[in-house]
Structure 1
């Protein structure tokens, strides 16, 4: 493979002079520039971007760890990241993890080896404390409140909007409330915040049988509704983990000619608007944009983003 040293040797000029031509720098005469450019063209030489970036100490790449893309949380946060990255002149590398801790650790090792300038965890399973030692290799950003752990974070403040939503439900005298959540409370900040808000408003923890986890998509919502019906649980209200998920729940009841419970979604999706159901807008695109700014070093610290309960 042709290198810059080959161009220098054949052209008879120094590597530094060739480098100035390649990078369109001044201090090179027109005649020298033409001679070197001819050799570059003859050899069809293309600079090695990876080697160049490593020599500069940066790659202009940001890794984004994504467990899946089924839930609107991921699609919206990725849109925010991509828009901010494009504006800042950075590339985004999507890194699938499927919530596997060893895979997450592997991406941190890639950060240590300078595969990217920064790493954004849209969600994860490994403890946040285990990420902290890797901060010396590049920016590490999480998209939830890390509490007292010193790590960059961009996240939506769910608590106030969740409490407002549950107070709205309580005022309408619903008492058999089903909760449809993404993952278990012990590993999901979203699920934990939901349970905490519910308990604070209603004064008691939700009925365990009415709590469904692992729900991330329309089809998961459909399956959750089937579970409620098959178990004769008859919730009078279901708080869903997304408007599309609420649509899946509603479709199950309609397909089986059953009276559907009242519903609330999240993420202010088109489906929720068409159904006319209340929702919560977590502004995940803003979270994604803030996470990107942290990852490239354009900002520092922790950035909470306000979320809004939208009654309908």
Structure 2
């Protein structure tokens, strides 16, 4: 396999001149550029991406840790990251997460070995404290409020919209409210904020029986409805972790000829718009774009993007 040294030797020019041709730099005449290009064509010379990355100190790759789940959080977040990466000339490496600590630590080790320039955790299971050591190897961005932790973050500022949503529910005198949550609140910032807002508005924590975890899809919403009915819980209102999830919940009731309770979704999906129930728009595409800018160094301060409670669909 030909090397840049072979191109320089055969063309009669220095390695630095060949390098300027490869990188389309100035200060090379058209005649010299043509001759060097001809030698490269004759040798079928292909520049080494690894060598190029080492020379410029960048891979132009960003790792994105994400669940392979059909939920707007991950779909819209990835879309926002991808759009911003394309505009900035960066490539994305999608790194599947199964909430396995060893896998997440492995991605941090890849960052240390310069497999990519930065790492975005759209979700994570390991504590932030484990990530801090790796910040010297590249930028690490998380996608929830970091609190007092010294780490970059782009996230949806859900707190105010959750307070508005539960106040709306409370003022309509719903009392037996079911919550469909992504994960245990000890592990999920979304679930933690949901329960905190409920508690502030209703003056007490929700009944544990009225909370269903791991609800991420339409099918999960359908299964949650079956759980409530089979256990005789009879909620008069459901706050779901997504419009599709709320729609799945309603479908179970309809199929079993039951009166559908009040519903509220999240993420302003088409299903919720067609059914007309309230929702919350968390602007995840904007969150993803901001995360990418942080990861490549185009921004330096964490950002919380305001989410919007939408009581009436237009």
TM-score, normalisation: structure 1: 0.97
The residue number in structure 2 matching 1:193 is 193
Taking the aligned partners of 1:138 and 1:302, their CA distance within structure 2 comes to 16
Contact 2:268-2:280 at 8 Å conserved across structures: yes
Contact 1:67-1:124 at 8 Å conserved across structures: no
The residue number in structure 1 matching 2:260 is 260
**3-state DSSP class of the match of 2:141?**
strand
Per mean C-alpha deviation after superposition, the further-off stretch among 80-89 and 198-207 is 80-89
Taking the aligned partners of 2:25 and 2:132, their CA distance within structure 1 comes to 40
The residue number in structure 2 matching 1:113 is 113
Runs of 4 or more consecutive aligned structure 1 residues displaced over 4 Å after TM superposition? none
**3-state DSSP class of the match of 1:179?**
strand
Per-residue CA deviation, residues 105-138 of structure 1 (Å, 9 max, x unaligned), is 1111111111111110001100011111111111
Taking the aligned partners of 1:242 and 1:63, their CA distance within structure 2 comes to 26
**3-state DSSP class of the match of 2:227?**
helix
Contact 2:59-2:116 at 8 Å conserved across structures: yes
Contact 1:151-1:301 at 8 Å conserved across structures: no
**3-state DSSP class of the match of 1:83?**
helix
RMSD: 1.1
Taking the aligned partners of 1:215 and 1:157, their CA distance within structure 2 comes to 21
Structure 2: tracts of 5 or more residues without a match: none
**3-state DSSP class of the match of 1:27?**
coil
**3-state DSSP class of the match of 1:41?**
helix
Per mean C-alpha deviation after superposition, the further-off stretch among 144-153 and 45-54 is 45-54
Cα displacement (A) at 1:79: 1.0
Contact 2:69-2:216 at 8 Å conserved across structures: no
**3-state DSSP class of the match of 1:245?**
helix
Taking the aligned partners of 1:287 and 1:84, their CA distance within structure 2 comes to 11
**3-state DSSP class of the match of 1:99?**
coil
The residue number in structure 1 matching 2:14 is 14
Structure 1: tracts of 5 or more residues without a match: none
The residue number in structure 2 matching 1:92 is 92
TM-score, normalisation: structure 2: 0.97
The residue number in structure 2 matching 1:278 is 278
The residue number in structure 2 matching 1:32 is 32
Contact 1:268-1:280 at 8 Å conserved across structures: yes
1:1-312 paired onto structure 2 within 5 Å:
1-312=1-312
**3-state DSSP class of the match of 1:304?**
strand
Cα displacement (A) at 1:68: 2.5
Cα displacement (A) at 1:28: 3.0
Q: Number of residues paired by the alignment?
A: 312
Taking the aligned partners of 1:78 and 1:30, their CA distance within structure 2 comes to 43
Cα displacement (A) at 1:43: 1.1
